[in-house]
Amino acid sequence: GAVVSQHPSWVICKSGTSVKIECRSLDFQATTMFWYRQFPKQSLMLMATSNEGSKATYEQGVEKDKFLINHASLTLSTLTVTSAHPEDSSFYICSASPGLAGGIKYEQYFGPGTRLTVT
């Protein structure tokens, strides 16, 4: 159980175009989803947190108009990189949380990641 998928697993796009990445929780409802970015040989950096039906909360330094996040249902969140540039090339990982568990939030399950290359 607790499987999170991402689609596509890799994508190459031209500079200036937009790319949409999907994150799905396959066997549970995710009240909260997280989007991370990982540069080569570095740790994950949290970009934003989204709760179903409400606007995403972006971390400091992350442009919300560039990285559009939609959490339209309890099983799907999307990240759209608008007007992509080569510096946006990175590994994007989502995670999903079913929310409260025994009164304490602790479960967060990660997707396999999407490698974005902008040429």
Partner 1 sequence: GEDVEQSLFLSVREGDSSVINCTYTDSSSTYLYWYKQEPGAGLQLLTYIFSNMDMKQDQRLTVLLNKKDKHLSLRIADTQTGDSAIYFCAVLNNNAGNMLTFGGGTRLMVKP
Q: Which residues bind partner 1 (CB under 8 A)?
A: 6, 32, 34, 42-44, 46, 49, 93, 95, 97, 99, 104-106, 108-113, 115
Give the nearest distance from C-beta 1 to partner 1 in angstroms.
12
Q: Which is nearer to partner 1, 9 or 83 (CB)?
A: 9
| Closest separation in Å from C-beta 83 to partner 1 | 26
Q: Which long-range contacts does 41-50 make (Cβ < 8 Å, 24+ apart)?
A: 44/93, 47/79, 50/77
Nearer of residues 55 and 105 to partner 1, judged by Cβ: 105
Q: Is 58 within 8 Å of 36 (Cβ atoms)? A: no
Spatial separation of the C-alpha atoms in residues 27 and 76, rounded to whole Å: 12
Pick between residue 57 and residue 119 the one whose CB is nearest to partner 1: 57
> Cα Rg for the chain, rounded, in angstroms?
14
